[in-house]
């Protein structure tokens, strides 16, 4: 079965109350990851995802958004976020027991799909799906409003963006990144490819060279909950400092395209870079573990 991810993902962004880190962010995260994975990791996931081009991760990065509003994919709708019940701006923080819903959250989903990727007894099509979910959810965790409960992750907060009306969640999903790259893109893959090349350079030899050393520290393949909780908590901390620095009431109706944007842009850039780098490290851990087994990826 072949799905046209591009068309489906575009459709999803027009659904009311859609809560998806924009496709630009997700695709960029995937391209960055593909610059950092080991060759053996690339080979494994290219086979599993049945795509031997450099776009093998980018091409599946928005799949999870394309299915979440379908009858089949509805089970996954709560897997894209964790609703931190904190009190910005005075207190931020995520607590797994308090904040992960009974039917799941992005942190439990990371655990579920990582376990599926490592399960030799599962059909290759199940592990293929698990890979697509993991690529997507590592991106989601790094968008601060995917780790916050206030006003449905900011979806119910109306603000102004260069004079048009938007909700705060959309601003952080898409508008900030799009404005940084010079406006709304009809071709997110091209824009993401270039942005990913720049951020990869920044990690290897530019402004993130020193700090990136610690980004993949403390990752434990056998404890995906603890690992992704560190990412979620860090992402959520930006709610108090950059997303709602004066609290949720004060931001209603405010124009965010100016000074607010200037402060938010470096956060978006850093979070996208981190997500890509960490996704690569996580996929490396998975592929390394599997290389010690004789797990078949299936007849292709
Ligand atoms: C690989 O993925 C890219 C991006 O989705 C797509 O354009 C290309 O056709 C795919 N190639 C194969 C061999 O499936
Ligand atoms: C784990 O993944 C399966 C397959 O996608 C899904 O049906 C199930 O609801 C998930 N379980 C949890 C606890 O997230
Ligand atoms: C990438 O970096 C170049 C050189 O610094 C810059 O001109 C360009 O706008 C950047 N592109 C993106 C998409 O960030
Ligand atoms: C979570 O982040 C808060 C700050 O936002 C910090 O005080 C706390 O120590 C962090 N908790 C964990 C478990 O990392």
What is d(CA 164, CA 160) in angstroms, rounded to the nearest whole number?
Answer: 5
pLDDT at residue 21 in the model: 58
The Å distance, Cα 76 to ligand 2 centre, comes to 8
Question: Hey, whose CA ends up nearest to atom 11 of ligand 3?
Answer: 195
Predicted confidence (pLDDT) per residue in 35-82, tens digit: 999 999 999 999 999 999 999 999 999 999 999 999 999 999 999 999
Please list the residues that pair with 166 across neighbouring strands. 159
Range in 6-20, 154-168, 171-185, 187-201 with the lowest mean pLDDT? 6-20
Predicted confidence (pLDDT) per residue in 245-294, tens digit: 999 999 999 999 999 999 999 999 999 999 999 999 999 999 999 987 54
Collapsing DSSP to helix, strand or coil, 149 comes out as coil
The Å distance, Cα 194 to ligand 3 centre, comes to 7
**Ligand 4 binding pocket mutation candidate from 84, 97, 99, 237 (most atoms within 8 A of CB):** 237
Residues with CB under 6 A from ligand 3: 181, 194-195, 198
CB-side neighbour CA atoms (13 Å) of 60: 25
pLDDT at residue 185 in the model: 64
> Which ligand is closest in space to the CA of residue 90?
4
Q: Which residue has the higher pLDDT, 116 or 182?
A: 116
pTM for the whole structure: 0.91
Q: Which residues are the active-site residues? A: 21, 26, 65, 68, 80, 136, 140, 146, 169, 173
pLDDT at residue 186 in the model: 72
Q: Is the pLDDT of residue 221 over 60?
A: yes
Q: Following DSSP, what letter does each residue of 174-206 receive, concatenated?
A: IIHHHHHTTS--S-HHHHHHHHHHHHHHHHHHS
User: Domain 5-284's class?
Assistant: mainly alpha
Q: Is the pLDDT of residue 299 over 50?
A: no
For ligand 1, whether the C-beta of 188 sits within 6 Å is no
Domain ranges for the chain:
5-284
- CA distance to 29, 56, 75, 167, 248, per residue, from 159 (Å): 27, 36, 31, 6, 11
Average pLDDT over residues 136-146: 98
Q: Which atom of ligand 4 is least distant from the CA of 234? A: 2
pLDDT at residue 199 in the model: 98
The Å distance, Cα 134 to ligand 3 centre, comes to 28
DSSP state for residue 161 in the 8-state scheme: E
Q: What's the 3-state SS for 74-94?
A: HHHHHHHCCCCCCECCCECCC
């Amino acid at each position: 079965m072949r799905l046209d991810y591009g068309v489906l993902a575009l459709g999803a962004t027009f659904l009311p109350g859609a809560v998806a880190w924009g496709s630009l962010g997700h695709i960029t995260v995937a391209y960055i990851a593909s610059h950092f994975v080991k060759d053996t990791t690339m080979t494994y996931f290219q086979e599993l995802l049945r795509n031997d081009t450099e776009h093998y991760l980018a091409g599946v990065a928005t799949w999870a958004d394309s299915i979440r509003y379908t009858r089949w994919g509805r089970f996954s709708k709560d897997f894209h976020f964790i609703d931190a019940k904190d009190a910005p701006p005075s207190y931020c923080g995520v607590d797994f027991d308090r904040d992960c819903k009974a039917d799941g959250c992005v942190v439990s989903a990371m655990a579920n799909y990582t376990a599926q990727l490592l399960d030799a007894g599962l059909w290759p099509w199940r592990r293929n799906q698990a890979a697509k979910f993991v690529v997507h959810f590592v991106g989601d965790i790094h968008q601060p409003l995917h780790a916050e409960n206030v006003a449905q992750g900011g979806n119910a907060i109306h603000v102004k963006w260069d004079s048009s009306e938007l909700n705060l969640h959309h601003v952080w999903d898409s508008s900030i990144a799009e404005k940084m790259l010079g406006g709304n893109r009809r071709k997110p893959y091209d824009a993401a490819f270039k942005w990913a090349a720049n951020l990869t350079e920044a990690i290897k030899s530019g402004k993130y060279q020193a700090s990136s050393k610690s980004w993949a520290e403390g990752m434990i393949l056998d404890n995906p909950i603890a690992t992704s909780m560190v990412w979620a908590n860090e992402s959520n901390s930006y709610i108090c400092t950059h997303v709602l620095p004066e609290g949720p009431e004060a931001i209603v109706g405010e124009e965010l395209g100016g000074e607010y944007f200037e402060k938010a842009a470096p956060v978006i850039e850093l979070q996208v870079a981190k997500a890509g780098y960490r996704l690569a490290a996580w996929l490396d851990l998975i592929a390394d573990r599997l290389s010690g087994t004789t797990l078949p990826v299936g007849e292709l």
